[in-house]
Amino acid sequence: MNWWGPCLVMAAALAIVWRGGPRPPAVSLVDLRRRLLPVATARPRQALACAVGGTMAVALIAGGPVAAIVAAVYAGLAGRALIRRSARRRAAANRAAALDLLAALAADLRAGLPPAEMSVGRSQAVEAVAGAERLSRLTAAVWQLAERTGAPVADLVEGIEADARAADRAAAHANAQAAGAQATAMLLAALPIGGIGLGLLIGADPLYVLLRTPLGGVCAVTAVLLQGAGLLWAERLVGQ
């Protein structure tokens, strides 16, 4: 009996029904990133734990327990680096906003505007900027000093701004000097991947040895843990 005819008819009917029925909305990677980024920013530790857990589960299904441990370590390091990078960007943006407000405050004072109407409002805006606690304390100290001694507020505010921008330039110079050490650490961390690729090119199967044999699994887990400790140590040295 020939079943091809009924099967083709059923397939065509299913295609027509599927095409005519409602389709789930397509979600692009950009939309997904836009939706997940606020959640990850608000709760970075929870987002990191979810990412590590999901990566570990996928690696456990695909490659076994050794692959799960390796994937968890790498996912944790990558997620931690992304969280710290995002925090540094937010801190830099907040500090730049606070310095711009200080510059506007000094300009208002130079123009002779009433401090009670303009300058105090801008100083309160500086205090409202997240991550600008030191600048807000210095601004409050300037107002107290001006009220007690009659010192020129504009000069003091400009001095605070100039000192803060000089500190930012010094920090940027230090980060540029430390970029070489960071690049060296990342290069050393990527060398094992090159070794695995070289083993595959010469016809060996290093992934099977590392993920499926006891001795290879011990070597892989030990190497990944030492590699993670080395990256954290290098990051701490660069941060100091």
Phi, psi of 136 (to 5 degrees): -65, -40
Count CB neighbours of 205 within 10 A: 11
| 67 contacts: CB under 8 Å, gap ≥ 6 | 59, 60, 211
Residue 77 and residue 73: Cα distance in Å, rounded? Answer: 6
Given this model, what pLDDT does residue 25 score? Answer: 55
Residue 88 and residue 41: Cα distance in Å, rounded? Answer: 12
Question: Residue 118 has what DSSP assignment?
Answer: I
| 178 contacts: CB under 8 Å, gap ≥ 6 | 238
DSSP H/E element including 165: helix 153-201
Count CB neighbours of 4 within 10 A: 7
Q: Look-up: residue for tokens 């140590």?
A: 233
% of the chain beyond a pLDDT of 90:
4
Mean pLDDT of 139-143: 73
- Of 2-6, 73-77, 164-168, where does mean pLDDT reach its minimum? 2-6
3-class secondary-structure state, position 202: coil
Is residue 199 within 8 A of residue 206, CB to CB? The reply is yes
Mean pLDDT of 113-124: 52
| The pTM of the whole model exceeds 0.95 | no
Residue 168 and residue 106: Cα distance in Å, rounded? Answer: 19
Q: Which residue has the higher pLDDT, 104 or 30?
A: 104
The answer to whether residue 49 scores a pLDDT higher than 90 is no
